[in-house]
Amino acid sequence: MEEKLRKRPLALLLILTVPLLFSSVFISPPVGAGSFNGRRLGMGGVMLSEYSEAQTRNVSFRAVPRGKVHTSIPLPLGIIQVLASPPEFDPDSPDFNPFEIADLATNFPVFLRIKKPGVLSDDVVMDIARNRLAIDLGEMSQAVPEESFKLGGIFDQPEGGLNIRGFFAGISPLVVAKSDFSLSPSLRDALREGHDFLPNTSYSMKEDAEAQAGAALGVGYARQLNAIPGGKREDPRGTDKLAIFAGGRFKYIMGFAYTKATPIVSFTTGDTLFGSEPLKIDFESMMTKSLPDGFGVMGNGTGLDLGVSAFMGGYEAGLGLTNVVTKIKWKADREFDVLEDSTNEVEKYTIAEDFDYTSTVPLLVVLNAAKRWRGNTVAFDIEKGVTRTTFHLGAETSVRNVAVRTGTWLDGNGKLQFSAGAGFRFWVMGLDMALITSSSVLTGERAVDLALSLSL
Amino acid sequence: MFVSVVENGQTSTKGEEVKRLALAIIGLAALSQSLLYGCGNKLLTVNIDALSFMDPTVVEQTYGVDPIIPAGGVLPAVFEAPPQRINLTEGLADITDIQSVTLHLASEFANQTGSADVRLQVFISDTETDPYSTTPYVQEDIHLEPATTDTISVNIPSSETLGELLTGEAAQVGIRTTFDSSGSAANVTGVETLIRFTATVVAKRHIP
């Protein structure tokens, strides 16, 4: 990066999308539907109380008998597909395309890709005159964000542990990452709209990225409120009796690593774009970090999960709050990186060492509802995630040993996606298939995947 | 959630269903391979308006006044414009492989008196080298008659070496005009105007 910064700005402009690639690679969720379960995917990824992963988002579901459910095992045909035809990773190769690699990373290849999104790779045209510069990125201009570009995700499953008489304890990973990338209007217009770069104008791009990783030790309690503790538990989904469940979980969080960075790259053109004076590039970044030298706990924190749900006459509704007032305290270092004019090198300045710093784990809120009747299920959920509020809507109808499903959802990038699927059972084993759409986080172009999972 | 129903006597039917399912999966996998997109040409085209970097006194020059181009001149008169610097974009050469380079040049001679055979040469070098010490990238001849206006207009495919110069930080341009007035009955005078001087570099990008 430092080497790039030493070069004149026009070459730099061609690679301005690199931070975008980095952010999308590291923090985008693998699939918008958020699951590898073929049944759930076929229903648009909608959350139902019987899924084990639902217990992470609504702790009251821990007390709800799961009924007749099957363990889902995804069939990773997509990995075979990628191994058979991997992208080019050698940057010196003419076929090297980091957008393709980013797309691979942002669409984790568990599923069989039926239709790939278009790869961003168009001809680029630069017009250069003494006082004129225009860059036409072609299709790649789609990768230049029109507005602030936010990405984020949380990984906090699986949650292993014990469950005894409503009390439970377990440990789960906790990885949270989010990024907010933006360009100045002048730079956005020049790269996205192909407008001329102008004299005496400032151009800049900045990113606000944060990542934290640790493990959560949780202890909690969940029970049916309108039943005698320890009494007979029956599946509430098929009865007309009202069943209300509530639960809470206290979490002690061991923090393993934390980093937050806010890099800004900017430059201001002079009276003449290609005059005798080289363009001055400014780069600065404030970084707060708490990183282990070896294996060890760097931070500690606490948090709370709460949930409530109700069932009656085939209806189901739930509200789950995850990471309520969840914070992690770190001993952190802060440094300021800046491109020095005198040396043309990026210099690092330590601002503070071992100072007390508290990070916040984003609050997640999930509201879900479902109705079941005679082999049919219609379900809906809405989730406030790390960076965006999304929803899922799905339906299933089943006759004997065949089920047909469909669904739609708003993915983490604000794009509406669709799914359709089917399920078959053979003796003790089932096969769930789902065709699901997804959109490239870079281009917005749609892909179609085939998800397969066995249910035992 | 649908419920599994297993009945006696359905083994063969389920086996056929499994076969059909397997065939469907294989078919879908084959279809997916045929739908994969290619990566495109990944070309970078750099259009350089070299004329805009020229000093106005180089763009339009009066010839035959100081010094005179005499009638029946024994030796050709040679005029070399001061080397002109073109500031470009350092770093492009690192991310590209030159595919083609084309120079587009047009120069107008509004000849007033005398006649001459004129040779126009354009030299391009790096900033450390005297351009006139290099081999010209453009060399065109034209015959001028009194009170006539003629134009040299050329589109010349050029070398990878020139492409590397034009994707570097800066280049120098030298323009030499040579007048042979040995057959002229009068002193040669007129105005030479460079009306177009552009370069187009097409390169394969290493980055998207």
B35 to A132: CB separation less than 8 angstroms, yes or no = no
Give A357's Cβ-side CA count (13 Å radius). Answer: 23
Cβ pair B32:A375 closer than 8 A: no
Q: Which residue of B has its CA nearest to A93?
A: B206
* A52: closest CA of chain B, how far (Å): 14
- Count CB-CB contacts under 10 A for residue B35: 11
Q: Give all domains of chain B, ordered by start, each with its CATH number.
A: 43-205 (2.60.120)
- DSSP secondary structure of B180-196: E-TT-SS-BEEEEEEEE
B47 interaction partners in chain A (CB closer than 8 Å) = 125-128
Q: Which two tokens stand for residue A286?
A: 């404030």
Closest CA to B81 of B50, B110, B102, B37: B50
Minimum Cα–Cα distance from A128: chain B residue: B48
Chain A residue with the nearest C-alpha to that of B18: A426
Task: Confirm if B139 and B191 have CB atoms less than 8 A apart.
Answer: no
Give me the residue from A14, A99, A113 closest to B95, CB to CB. A14
pLDDT digits (tens, 9 = 90+) for B138-163: 999 999 999 999 999 998 887 888 88
Query: What is the pLDDT at residue B120?
Result: 95
A3-7, A116-120, A208-212, B113-117: the lowest-pLDDT one: A3-7
Measured between CB atoms, which of A4, A128, A423 is closest to B2? Answer: A423
pLDDT band at B15 (very low <50, low <70, confident <90, very high): very low
Residue of B nearest to A48 (CA): B1
pLDDT, averaged across chain B: 79
Q: How many domains does chain A have?
A: 1
- How far apart, in whole angstroms, are the C-alpha atoms of residue B71 and residue B114? 7
Pairing of strands A315-339, A299-312: antiparallel
Kindly indicate the confidence band of residue B203, based on its pLDDT and cuts at 50, 70 and 90: confident
Q: Residues of chain A with pLDDT > 90: what percent?
A: 42
Which residue segment(s) compose the domain that A420 sits in? 2-455
Residue B164: C-alpha distances to residues B126, B127, B173 (Å): 10, 13, 14
Among B7, B32, B52, most A C-beta atoms within 10 A, so best to mutate, is: B32
Mean pLDDT of A135-139: 83
**Which of B2, B10, B31 is the best substitution to test chain A (most A C-beta atoms within 10 A)?**
B2
Tens of pLDDT, residues B54-93: 999 999 999 999 889 999 988 889 999 999 999 887 667 6
Evaluate if residue A143 carries a pLDDT over 70: yes
Instruction: At B105, give phi and psi (nearest 5°).
Output: -135, 135
B110 — pLDDT class (breaks 50, 70, 90): very high
User: β-strands B138-144, B60-63: how paired?
Assistant: unpaired
Other CB atoms closer than 10 Å to residue A201's CB: what's the count?
Answer: 16
Tell me which range, A113-117, A118-122, A395-399, is most confidently predicted by mean pLDDT.
Answer: A395-399
Q: Which of A91, A424, A427 sits opposite B6 (nearest CB)?
A: A427
DSSP code, position B26: H
Give the pLDDT of residue A108. Answer: 63
Which of A8, A39, A426 faces B14 most closely, judged by CB atoms? Answer: A426
Are the beta carbons of A125 and B90 separated by less than 8 Å? Answer: no
Q: How confident is the model at residue A77 (pLDDT cuts 50, 70, 90)?
A: confident
A13/A6 Cα distance (integer angstroms): 13
Decide if B1 and A425 are in contact by the 8 Å CB cutoff.
no
Instruction: Provide the whole-model pTM.
Output: 0.70
pLDDT over 50 at B16, yes or no: no
Higher pLDDT, A177 or A161: A177
Nearest beta carbon to residue B47 from set A115, A126, A427: A126
C-alpha closest to that of B53 among B83, B32, B10:
B83
Write the residue in B1, B169, B208 that is nearest to A120 by C-beta: B208
Per-residue confidence (pLDDT) for residue A61, from 0 to 100: 94
- Transcribe A16-32 into DSSP letters: TTHHHHHHHHHHS-S-T
What tens digit of pLDDT does each residue of A164-215 get? 888 999 999 999 988 888 889 998 898 888 899 988 899 888 889 999 999 9
More confident residue, B1 or A63: A63
- Do residues A17 and A140 touch, judged by C-beta distance below 8 A? yes
Q: What is the mean pLDDT of chain A?
A: 83
DSSP codes joined into one string, A244-271: EEEEEEEEEEEEEEEEEEEEEEEEE--S
**pLDDT surpasses 70 at A384:** yes
pLDDT (0 to 100) of residue B35: 32
Gap from A51 CA to chain B (nearest CA, Å): 11
Q: What is the pLDDT of residues A235-285, one digit of tens each?
A: 898 888 999 999 999 999 999 999 999 999 888 888 888 887 766 778 899
Residue of A30, A26, A29 whose CA lies nearest to A451: A30
Residue A296 has a pLDDT of 62
Q: Is the ipTM of this complex over 0.90?
A: no
Q: What does the pLDDT read at residue A27?
A: 36
* Structure confidence at residue B164 (pLDDT): 84
DSSP 8-state symbol, B69: B
Label residue A114 by pLDDT band (50, 70, 90).
confident
What average pLDDT does range B43-52 have in this prediction? Answer: 90
| Alpha carbons within 13 A on the beta-carbon side of A364 | 25
B14: nearest CA partner in chain A:
A426
